[in-house]
Amino acid sequence: MQKPSVPKGTRDFSPVEMNRRQYIFDTVKEVFRLYGFSPLETPAMENLSTLLGKYGDEGDKLLFKILNSGDYGAGLDDEEVRSASKICEKGLRYDLTVPFARYVVQHQNEIVFPFKRYQIQPVWRADRPQKGRYREFYQCDVDIIGSRSLLGEVELVKIVADVFARLGIKVVLKINNRKILYGIAETIGHADKMTDITVAIDKLEKIGAENVNAELRERGIDDKAIAMLQPILELAGDNMTKLNKLESILAGSETGLAGIDEMRTLFGYMADSGIDLSTELDLSLARGLNYYTGAIFEVKACDYAIGSICGGGRYDNLTGIFGLPDVSGVGISFGADRIYDVLSGLELFPEDVDCSTRLLFMNMGGEEEKASLTLLSQVRKTGIPAEIYPENAKMKKQMEYANRRAIPFVAIIGSRELEQRRATVKNMRTGEQCDVPFESVPEFVKQ
Amino acid sequence: MQKPSVPKGTRDFSPVEMNRRQYIFDTVKEVFRLYGFSPLETPAMENLSTLLGKYGDEGDKLLFKILNSGDYGAGLDDEEVRSASKICEKGLRYDLTVPFARYVVQHQNEIVFPFKRYQIQPVWRADRPQKGRYREFYQCDVDIIGSRSLLGEVELVKIVADVFARLGIKVVLKINNRKILYGIAETIGHADKMTDITVAIDKLEKIGAENVNAELRERGIDDKAIAMLQPILELAGDNMTKLNKLESILAGSETGLAGIDEMRTLFGYMADSGIDLSTELDLSLARGLNYYTGAIFEVKACDYAIGSICGGGRYDNLTGIFGLPDVSGVGISFGADRIYDVLSGLELFPEDVDCSTRLLFMNMGGEEEKASLTLLSQVRKTGIPAEIYPENAKMKKQMEYANRRAIPFVAIIGSRELEQRRATVKNMRTGEQCDVPFESVPEFVKQ
């Protein structure tokens, strides 16, 4: 018989991995709730009509399609059967953004706006599996929709600061604004080529200025424009200095100036709030997704090279694709897999994250087992996770179980202990053994 | 443009529903951890070879199959394209049990046995959607695998008692044993028809004795056997009395007697542990799934008619289907959707389950907004979920937002409040308003 396996690009999460993942999800969830965001979940399957055409041609190809149930080919000719559109009506969600937009439009009359929701669910992409890229992975999205207020951006920046402070990850927040990028495109005489320009300069850090310029030329940007662009991308100084210099450069672009104004307001709010977060206005930051229309964000870990671990921005027309125009929102998404790698790489997971059970009772059978069961119930009543080895097996086997499960305390109730009503409690880390009166065991093993 | 929708049989979960669902999941998770169970997750997609043939012919038809990505029909002739097995290699999981068995076999060398895991994930079935039956729904499974000890059953019974006590649902635990059912089949002379007998008598409560007898006849059980079966199913008295009577009836069946012995041990453990749970030996309880080999359980709510809200049992050969024989386990599964309906129907959700944000700051703009933002940060530092209305909108609009979000407290900092450094805090339930010094606001809105 073949050894069973999971589909390529997918993963099982073992208890150790799950405890670490739950630590990340619990941390972000707690912060989201503290900031007044409510949970939302949408189904794994969406109608293909909801998904298709929302992620570009490449994205459409990466959708996992679900075969219609029942006799899926009945009444279709062979050509129709060969056309996925006839035999599949549903697909797995590709991200949380499009289902969220679909939800907002579908439930617009029940939703209280501004709608602040978070959503932590898996998404599926038929990407070529490779290191660090999976076909099933979780996204953690948090959005405020139905308000143009820059306080939305401020709240998200605070959330970023709070989440990474709690996780102990030193980060830098890179920030830019699509209106400024438009202003730049306009100023260098290529307002129509904003997407080409942003796609190219987004690669600045990765491929360097020369290669970016080559790509710009390929995309039809003339040398004069490229020469104008260069000094803008090299603007130096702190964020406010950069904005001041930019103001004179973009003086002719109304949109550009509006973007500068937004950034000033945002930085002002951030200074007032005393947010403890290193923040950098990065004019080369573009982010691929074309639905962004205002501020854009990206978060990088300072001490671990892994690309961005969180990102997002302002969008003015996300729900337009489903027929509801003019609803502005702002959102960010935390990359759980990368955050996991950073925490692992820097050994930042809390020491007790791997330990679920705090106390194991050895099973000595008979009356000793009975006494252990009674004490076990009392330990659990105090909220301490505890268990008993289910069989009267050899001590060595039971001890090995405790060790491999990383259980910090083991209680032994043998005949002597039963008589004296004192358990032998062993600290598995130090090897130390103590005689503890039955009634004091919960207190003894508490942290 | 057509109003967007979700595929039939699937659901969005709004913030109100999510808060209530999370209350259920958090409660069961907390209990699972208290009893020493560790979390596990498996991918939504499994290879069809893992899933097919595990749920019977009917089950195979209810699997959602995923179209191979890329050019799925390339190199296939038309007949092959019409055969789902050629164009689909993956399917969505149908339950958590088969993926768990697959996981145990695949990772047998890393797992610490006895392996105690819980798993809370959605499953998908292409059932005909109808009231209370969905195509995507969550299962909450908890299992101990790799031990034959009846302490496993005892722990699960304790978990049942603890979970429903915490949720405030009065339940009765129905319990039976497949060995006893086999003993009965053997005793009435139809050892070969145990499945037919159990399938029929499982319907006793639903369709009554006469209809059960008719079905037994249809399934080839003769009248003499039916006449012998009747008094067994009608055995009266408490659990131990029933077992004693049964012992003489099944005296000729070794398996039957072994089942009785197991039940005596289990009831003995339960009595010793002082478990506060109404428990009934129900000889008509059979449960459909044929992999059970020992104790079987079902939990019903006492005050709400909805069928079983939790069930499970002992299985001796779950992993055999993947080539690993002789691994015994015992598990139960909580029905989150039905538990939700019981809690709703009996109004047992805690009063504050719907409230995520505890305090809303009205937004009065300018310096008042600034002061509100500062105080907001301080409130959040104490762990109280709070937010500020993002715009200086009309008071009425902001108040309506607080009301519709069920936010219990609203803080107003206008010019007078700013001057006196005292916020006006309104209790939205009572309508009462108080002047509260800025620094006392966190304390004031605490529960």
pLDDT of residue B55: 87
Assess contact for A213 and A205: CB atoms under 8 A: no
Instruction: Tell me which amino acid residue A12 is.
Output: D
B-interface mutation test, from A81, A158, A356, most B Cβ less than 10 A away: A356
Average pLDDT, chain A: 94
Find chain A residues with C-beta within 8 A of B38's C-beta: 15, 18-19, 356
Please answer whether residues B145 and B113 qualify as being in contact, where contact means their C-beta atoms are separated by less than 8 angstroms: yes
Is residue B298 left, alpha or beta, with left meaning phi > 0 and alpha meaning psi from -120 to 50? Answer: beta
**What is the least distance, in Å, from the CA of B346 to any CA of chain A?**
24
Extract the tokens encoding B312.
């499970």
The reply to whether residue B44 touches residue A44, judged by beta carbons under 8 angstroms, is yes
Q: Report the residue of B27, B29, B37, B38 to disrupt the A interface, i.e. the one with the largest count of A CBs within 10 Å.
A: B38
pLDDT in tens, B32-79: 999 999 999 999 999 999 999 888 888 899 999 999 987 777 788 888
**Chain A residues 317-356 with a CB less than 8 Å from chain B:** 322-323, 356
pLDDT of B79: 82
Alpha-carbon distance B46 to nearest alpha carbon in chain A (angstroms): 6
**What pLDDT score does B203 carry?**
87
Tell me the residues of chain A between 24 and 63 that have a Cβ less than 8 Å away from chain B.
33-47, 49-50, 61-62
In tens, the pLDDT along A394-415 reads 999 999 999 999 999 999 999 9
User: Can you tell me the distance from the alpha carbon of A258 to that of A294, in angstroms, rounded to the nearest whole number?
Assistant: 10
User: Three-state SS string across chain B, please?
Assistant: CCCCCCCCCCCCECHHHHHHHHHHHHHHHHHHHHCCCEECECCCEEEHHHHCCCCHHHHHHCCCEEECCCCCCCCCCHHHHHCHHHHEEEEECCCCHHHHHHHHHHCCCCCCCCEEEEEEEEEECCCCCECCECCEEEEEEEEEECCCCCHHHHHHHHHHHHHHHHHCCCEEEEEEEHHHHHHHHHHCCCHHHHHHHHHHHCCHHHHHHHHHHHHHHHCCCCHHHHHHHHHHHCCCCCHHHHHHHHHHHCCCCHHHHHHHHHHHHHHHHHHHCCCCCEEEECCCCCCCCCCEEEEEEEEEECCCCCCEEEEEEEECCHHHHHCCCCCCEEEEEECHHHHHHHHHHCCCCCHHHHCCCCEEECCCCHHHHHHHHHHHHHHHHCCCCEEECCCCCCHHHHHHHHHHCCCCEEEECCHHHHHHCEEEEEECCCCCEEEEEHHHHHHHHCC
Contacts of B37 (CB under 8 A, 6+ apart): A356, B116, B117, B118, B142
Chain A CA closest to residue B274: A374
Contacting residues of B for A78, CB less than 8 Å apart = 78, 81-82
Q: What percent of chain A has pLDDT over 70?
A: 99
Residue with structure tokens 């950073």?
A: A342
B292-301 and B308-315 as β-strands: parallel, antiparallel, unpaired?
A: antiparallel
pLDDT reading at B2 higher than 80: no
Contacts of B397 in chain A (CB under 8 A): none
Test A4 with B92 for CB contact under 8 angstroms: no
- CB contacts, 8 Å: A122 with chain B: 44
Determine the pLDDT at residue B276: 86
ipTM: 0.94
Residue A96 has pLDDT above 90, yes or no: yes
- Cα dihedral angle (B43, B47, B48, B54), rounded to 10 degrees? -70
Predicted confidence band at B15 (pLDDT cuts at 50, 70, 90)?
very high
Tokens, residue A282: 């990065």
Contacting residues of A for B386, CB less than 8 Å apart: 34, 36
Say whether pLDDT at B289 is over 70: no
- Find the distance separating the first CA and the last CA of chain B, reported in whole Å: 47
Please name the residues between 60 and 99 in chain B that touch chain A, using a CB distance below 8 Å. 61-62, 64-67, 69-70, 72-73, 78, 81-82, 84, 87-90, 92
Please give the single-letter amino acid code of residue A284. Answer: S
Q: ω into residue B114 within 30 of 0, thus cis? A: yes
The torsion angle over the Cα atoms of residues A117, A118, A122 and A125, rounded to 10 degrees, is 70
Please write the tens of the pLDDT for every residue from B131-171: 878 999 999 999 999 999 999 999 999 999 999 999 999 99
pLDDT score of B287 more than 90:
no
Query: Mean pLDDT, to the nearest integer, of A24-32?
Result: 98
Chain A segment 251-270 residues within 8 A of B by beta carbon are 269
pLDDT above 70 for A289: no
Position B145: which residue type? Answer: I
Q: Report the residue of A21, A29, A32, A34 to disrupt the B interface, i.e. the one with the largest count of B CBs within 10 Å.
A: A34
User: What pLDDT digit, counting tens, does each position of B175-202 carry?
Assistant: 999 999 999 999 999 999 988 898 888 8
CA neighbours closer than 13 Å in the CB half-sphere of residue B365: 5
List, for residues A362-406, the tens digit of each pLDDT value. Answer: 999 999 999 999 999 999 999 999 999 999 999 999 999 999 999
pLDDT score at A290: 73
Least confident of A72-76, A142-146, A318-322, B317-321: A72-76
Average pLDDT over residues A415-444: 96
Q: Does A151 contact chain B (CB < 8 Å)? A: yes
pLDDT tens, B254-277? 999 999 999 999 999 999 888 889
Cβ separation of B35 and A107 shorter than 8 Å? no
Tell me, yes or no, if B366 comes closer than 8 A to chain A by beta carbon: no
Question: Chain A interface, mutation test: which of B23, B102, B387, most A Cβ atoms within 10 Å?
Answer: B387
Name the one residue in this structure whose structure tokens are 């692992």: A344
Q: Does A137 touch chain B (CB under 8 A)?
A: no
The pLDDT score that the predictor gives to residue B432 is: 96
CA B67 to chain centre: 30
Dist. CA B408–CA B351, nearest whole Å: 12
Question: Which residues in chain A have their CB less than 8 angstroms from residue B373's CB?
Answer: 269, 272-273
CB proximity A165 to B under 8 Å: no
What's the token pair of residue A153?
């951006």
Query: Over 70: is that where the pLDDT of A1 sits?
Result: no
pLDDT in tens, B363-416: 999 999 999 999 999 999 999 999 999 999 999 999 999 999 999 999 999 999
The shortest CB-CB distance from A390 to any of B44, B81, B152 is to B152
**pLDDT tens digit sequence for A326-348:** 999 999 999 999 999 999 999 99
For A143-154, the pLDDT digits (tens) are 999 999 999 999
Q: What pLDDT sits at residue B1?
A: 64
Q: B386 and A34 in contact by Cβ < 8 A?
A: yes
- CA-based Rg of chain A, rounded to a whole angstrom? 28
Q: Decide if A405 touches B, using CB distance below 8 A.
A: yes
The CA distance from B201 to the nearest CA of chain A, in Å, is: 31
